[in-house]
Amino acid sequence: MMATRHISRSASSSSGLRRPARRRSLIATTGVLALAAAGGGAWVFLASGPGVEGLADGAVLDARKAAHVSAYLDAGTAGQREKVHVALDGATVPVTAEQGARLRLGLPRLTEGRHALVVAGDAGLPFASYRRVVGFTVDSTPPDLKVADPAVTNAGAPVTITGNASADSRVTIDGKKVPVDRSGAFKTTVPKGTRVVTVTAVDRAGNTTTKAVSARGRRPMIRAAHITAIGWGDDTLRGNVLSLVRQGKLNAVELDVKDEDGEVGYASQVPLARQIGAAKGYYDARKAIAELHAAGAQVIGRIVAFRDPKLAAAAWKDGKRDQLVLTPEGQPYDGGHYGALSFTNFADPTVRKYNQDLAVEAARLGFDDILYDYVRRPDGPLGHMRFPGIASATPEQSITSFVADTRTALRPHATYLGVSVFGIAATRPTEIAQDIGALAKVTDYIAPMVYPSHWGPGEYGVAQPDTAPYAIVQRSLADFARQVKGTQAEVVPWLQDFSMGSAYGPTEVAAQIKAAAANKMNSFILWNAGARYQGAALQQIATH
């Protein structure tokens, strides 16, 4: 005890300080801390100890940094390895001597969460020790980031982008930092004409979440006509459609990407398309798009989604039955009048991804729109068919989620997304699993097929719809207008430019266009399987 008191008094004297009675003192000496116990017992010296290199107190590490962190005790400790004890969260950490005057800490794999690294040991002075604590956090979770679809009604005006991110995140929009309030909310305006906005959130650890958001606004007016992939290769058919574009009677052309036979019109690089022999290469996609753009037309890529005999046959042959719509007995549902092995299963992940991959590929090639067709279940009683993997969802919900997923996948490409639907879907959504109100929330436009020849006698109070094109189109489209009200989606109707029962000429086509305009729908797409269109009907509209 006498020796201890002698050392404490010497330390006190050399510092020029008096030790007050019954107080705890922390006295700094040359690189040493002296702690005196209250009541005047003994002095204990706490040295500053070696510093920790490579791991700072208060650090926040992402997964990459946590996996590669290297920590050392600084110079002068290599010879003191036996006197150093290191623990991480209470578990001993091995210490090895490195070349030079430092020690390497053998840290284990760092897990998510907060950690404490404690370095303790003998300072080499009598009754002196040290204890250093380094607190740090491993955070490998990307920050939350939600960005609202901007409500754009005027493509020529600036666009307001709003969203919410994790509160500790730094947010940039197209590389420019934007203010984030305490709740993580942000709001900024991007210049007019911006097509795609890239929003990035980076947290303290460096984790990143990025989302691309379309800022194009609503689809400009389109007056389009359909042509098949094979039809595009016919000089006469292609020339006639291009002529209508150059005359200003059409401003868009709908060209098949994947048709009713499951064939992809161009040499697709989507692996499944090539695997099942669907990629046909009937036309060069980039060349066709360039030609249409040069003529003044937008290009709509039509993807026949779930009616796909190519995929259905390949899946059945390979024993992948879940990719098909089945009967309760496990056989392929015959698809009504479409025949066996015609309808694939919209609830199957492979089928969904295949169609979405084609949509993304088409967008990358330069198609301005993706328009899904046959995005529905087959005709017939629901009890006669089974959809493996649908779980607790309804067919309508599964179809809607598929379209929503496609919209998310297309956001980086500023491509508009439309869905072709049956005319009856506005009032009978469960008949083919097309819920118009739900679909309108996840797409840019709804394209109802309101062909007069496809309505039964008495629909909408029209005795013979095929002979009353204006009445049936005007009344049926009014229902679609009500269904999309309050959403950003528009209605772009398919109109009949073919004869089926009654002869259809320019007068009948023009009557349908006027009926759509009566519902404030100035956009339309004409259907003629042979791509032979009534130019005179378009001229009539243009002069009224």
Lowest mean per-residue pLDDT among 40-49, 290-299, 317-326: 40-49
CATH topology of domain 145-214: Immunoglobulin-like (2.60.40)
Residue 456: Cβ-neighbour burial (10 angstroms; 0-12, 13-18, 19+): exposed
Q: With cut-offs at 50, 70 and 90, classify the pLDDT of residue 13.
A: very low
pLDDT at 209 over 90: yes
Does the pLDDT at position 29 exceed 70?
Answer: no
d(CA 286, CA 249): 24
Higher pLDDT, 121 or 243: 243
Query: What average pLDDT does this structure show over 406-415?
Result: 88
Q: What is the largest CA-CA distance in the chain?
A: 121
Q: Give pLDDT, residue 12.
A: 34
For residue 59, pLDDT over 80 is answered with yes
- Type of residue numbered 444: D
* Amino acid 18: pLDDT: 37
- Beta bridge pairs of residue 131: 120
User: Residues 66-76: what's their mean pLDDT?
Assistant: 82
Which region among 213-227, 242-256, 410-424 has the lowest average model confidence (pLDDT)?
213-227
Task: Please give the residue that has the higher pLDDT: either 437 or 219.
Answer: 437
Instruction: Tell me which of 70-79, 179-188, 466-475 is least confident.
Output: 70-79
Bridge-based pairing of strands 494-496 and 524-527 is parallel
pLDDT score of 286 more than 80: yes
- pLDDT tens for residues 311-320? 999 999 999 9
Distance CA 330, CA 467 (A): 43
* Residue in the structure block whose two tokens are 């088409």: 362
Confidence of residue 40 (pLDDT cuts 50, 70, 90): very low
Percent share of the chain, pLDDT over 90: 71
Whole-angstrom distance, CA of residue 116 vs CA of residue 379: 64
Cα separation of 443 and 403, whole Å?
7
What is the distance between the alpha carbons of residues 9 and 36, in angstroms, rounded to a whole number? 11
Note the pLDDT of residue 4: 35
Q: Mention the CATH class of domain 223-542.
A: alpha beta
Q: Of the candidates 214, 226, 173, 223, which has an alpha carbon nearest to the alpha carbon of residue 415?
A: 214
pLDDT at residue 2 tops 60:
no
Cα–Cα dist 470/147, whole Å? 42
Q: Which pLDDT score is estimated for 127?
A: 56
Domain boundaries along the sequence of the chain:
38-49+84-91+114-138, 145-214, 223-542
pLDDT, greater one: 79 or 161:
161
Distance CA 224, CA 231 (A): 15
pLDDT at 327 over 70: yes
Structure confidence at residue 75 (pLDDT): 56
Q: Is the dihedral of CA 95, 97, 100, 106 positive or negative?
A: negative
